[in-house]
Structure 1
Amino acid sequence: MVRTFLRADDLRDVVADQTARRLSTLTRLAGGTKKGVYRLTLDDGTSLIAYVWAEAENYWPPAATVPDDPFTDANGPDLFAANHAALSAAGVRVPGLIFFDRSRRHLDADLALVEDAGSTKLEDRLDAEDAPLAELGAAIRRMHTTFGPHYGKLAAIGSQARRTEDIIRDRALTDLDAAAERDSRLAAARDRIVTHVDALWAAVRPRQTYALVHGELGPDHVLVTEANEPVLIDFEGLAYFDIEWDHAWIQMRFGDHYRRLDPVDCDPERLEFYRYAQVLSLIEGPLRIASTDFPDRQWMLDLAEWNIAKAFAAVGRSV
């Protein structure tokens, strides 16, 4: 498809309406795969961020999904609005919401204007002595002790017919089958990987305790303000679910810094199962988006290869 991104003229009127300032410059920020993220510099030297949900901003092609997987299609303005409100209520710092518009009166797209919390990501500050890991850890604990009676997306909690670990098993096998269609090595190892998935799944004890989880909380999804505050972003995947889903991701992304977050206790069998399911997801997703016109295709292929090696190591195979 031909992708057309926003120009400054597209947002001049809405900026004037909402801030009583003039838009000086517009810069599209790199890294987004599902929505457009733009920094808007105003005539008084301040700035804000625009989130834009439009077809041209979403690089992800369709894929086979598990119908009751709460992390499927974790994108869109309704999820953003509901999740922003839930995190704010839980005492978790997120960018302040300035304007939210689904009327498409200003653009042929859904739009949010939010506080510009800066361009410093926590991943660039992890080794700094004053990195706000204690503050982030406290925010994560507030999330993981904010409980709900059911699992699911906050904007669309439906019927709860199955155990969460059963959903993740189906998700893992769906990811494996989709990835195997793109990589013959996975197709050849499929039976051994399925056996490993089922062994991990069988070890998980039933539980019905659900708390707020971010879904993909790494140091790249945390901004650090000039006041050294951690600010969570990219939270459309927020859901009530098992906290182990978050911790599997957080452990992977924070590495040796994970313990500095002072995390709540997790169930070790559930954590290990979810960790392996995420490895399979990090093969399927990158291979799928690498088949599109995504601009950093090689990075995605390298990420998939890294996780193929991890998936094979767990079942005693070499790549």
Structure 2
Amino acid sequence: MPEAGRAHPHGYGTNEPDAARRSFLRAEDVRDLVADQFGSTRSLTALDRLTGGSKKGVYRIRLDDRTTVVLYVWAAAENFWPVSPTVPDDPFTDASGADLFAISHAALTATGVRVPRLLMLDRDGRYLPSDIALVEDVGDLTLEALLARDPVGAATPLSALGDSLRRMHTTLGSHYGKLATSTHGKASRTRPAEDVVADRALGHLDAVATRDARLADAHDRVATHVRQLRGAVTARRVYGLVHGELGPDHVFVTRDNEPALIDFEGLTYFDVEWEHAWLQMRFGDAYPALRPVDLDPRRLELYRYAQVLSLIEGPLRIAATDFPNRQWMLDLAEWNIAKALAPL
């Protein structure tokens, strides 16, 4: 059974028949980009589409001097996610796009968090009919792979990641929301964050109850459990900077043994318990090495259960599309259905 929330780094596989219905980049599509950015002394030798995610395309550009860079492409053909209903003020929706990438990249860099260096951002369609970014290639080694292969060797980047997370989680704001919202002066939030999470969870429950008979039968009991968890949370209006879905697959270990965060377009001010509910689930036994900030246990419990419901709704929704690794998503949903029913 897959780990909850796990995704491969950088993009998604294209070796299954369903993916062939989509149009992805070919080497000739980026030759002008390469010539313009790297000059006449370096040329393209290969364009590799990397595997794993589902919202943007990620490609490795190989040059004839054996250097590489990574290309991000925000195009409709690269996004497998269908639209779904949302609740007001949910900061975790639509967490993709070049604008969010640019703002989040700048914020993390200013906070001292290692991310791939930004080499070029094009939102004017100069090279492709979509927004693109060129970034440093931080390699292929994820913290997830290093933890599995060499837990002792992973201690240094894991500790450094904990330092980065504490810098993020102690970068505080009085309103929750995406950084783009805060930057444009639209951060007036009136509802408590825990109400947003509870409503989000109930919306996910309604959606999955139409797809799974077990959840349809348990709908009222699950809803009652969510409301009880929400009722135990006391008010608080201080928010930290959170990645949103940070797992060890979203952290690359550089040649200098530094942890570099990716897929951070969803960076937002929110309750840090949201981040730590995810970190606990994804890092497992390695989580204590991150040396987390102080947390509210009741808020953490609500957010942990809400994420379980999210990891049923999202996988079932994308499994109904032409996403190439459909069975993996179905297995992930099944894993979390058992977790959702267990407290009842």
Q: TM-score category by the smaller chain?
A: over 0.9
Q: Is the 8 A contact 1:222 1:232 kept in 2?
A: yes
What 5-or-longer segments of structure 1 have no aligned partner?
none
Q: Which moved further from structure 2: 20-29 or 82-91?
A: 20-29
1:239-297 deviation per Cα after TM superposition (whole angstroms, max 9, x unaligned)? 00000000000000000100011111110000000000000000000000000010100
Q: Deviations over 1:140-191 (max 9, x none)?
A: 1111011122110001233212100000011000111111111121111000
Secondary structure of the structure 2 residue equivalent to 1:114: strand
Given that 1:122 and 1:222 are in contact with CA atoms closer than 8 Å, whether structure 2 keeps it comes out as yes
Q: CA deviation at 1:23?
A: 1.4
Structure 2 residue aligned with 1:150 = 175
RMSD over aligned Cα atoms: 1.0
Provide the TM-score with structure 1 as the length reference: 0.97
Asked whether the equivalents of residues 168 and 277 of structure 1 are also in contact (C-alpha less than 8 Å), the reply is yes
User: Offset of 1:19 from its aligned partner?
Assistant: 2.1
- SS across alignment from 1:187: helix
Q: CA deviation at 1:37?
A: 0.4
CA distance in 2, matches of 1:106, 1:217: 31
- Aligned match of 2:9: none
Aligned-pair CA distance for 1:43: 1.2
Distance 2:126 2:256 in 1: 36
Aligned to 2:151: 128
Q: Which residue of 1 aligns with 2:73?
A: 52
Alignment-derived partner of residue 325 in structure 2 = 296
| Mapped partners of 1:149, 1:209: distance in 2 | 5
The TM-score with structure 2 as length reference comes to 0.90
1:64–1:178: 8 Å Cα contact kept in structure 2? no
Question: Aligned partners of 1:93, 1:265: CA distance in 2, in Å?
Answer: 23
* Paired amino acid for 1:73: D
Match of 1:261 in 2: 290
Q: Partners in 2 of 1:99 and 1:10 — Cα distance? A: 17
Q: Which amino acid aligns with 2:117?
A: G
Matched residue, 1:93: 114
Q: Structure 2 counterpart of 1:129, which letter?
A: V
Tell me, yes or no, if structure 1 residue 287 matches structure 2 residue 312: no
Residue in structure 1 matched with residue 243 of structure 2 by the alignment: 214
Identity in percent = 66
Structure 2 segments unaligned to the other structure (5+ residues):
1-18
Superposition deviation, residue 128 in structure 1: 2.5
Give the AA of the match of 1:36.
Answer: G
TM-superposition CA deviations, 1:174-221 (whole Å, max 9, x none): 111111111121111000000100000000010011110000000010
For 1:311, the equivalent position in structure 2 comes to: 340
* 1:26 match: secondary structure: strand
Residue 306 of structure 2: aligned partner: 277
Structure 1 counterpart of 2:159, one-letter code: A
Letter in 1 for 2:176: Y
Amino acid at match of 1:256: D
Partner of 1:156, secondary structure, is helix
Distance, in Å, in 1 between the alignment partners of 2:57 and 2:245 is: 18
Which aligned runs of 4 or more in structure 1 are off by greater than 3 angstroms?
A: none
Deviation sequence 1:97-143 (CA, Å, 0-9, x none): 00000001110110000000001111011142121111110011111
Is 1:18 aligned to 2:43, yes or no? no
The answer (yes or no) to whether the contact 1:53–1:109 under 8 Å persists in 2 is yes
Counterpart amino acid of residue 130 in structure 1? G
Q: What SS class does the counterpart of residue 47 from structure 2 fall into?
A: strand
Secondary structure of the corresponding residue to residue 119 of structure 2:
strand
Letter in 2 for 1:200: L
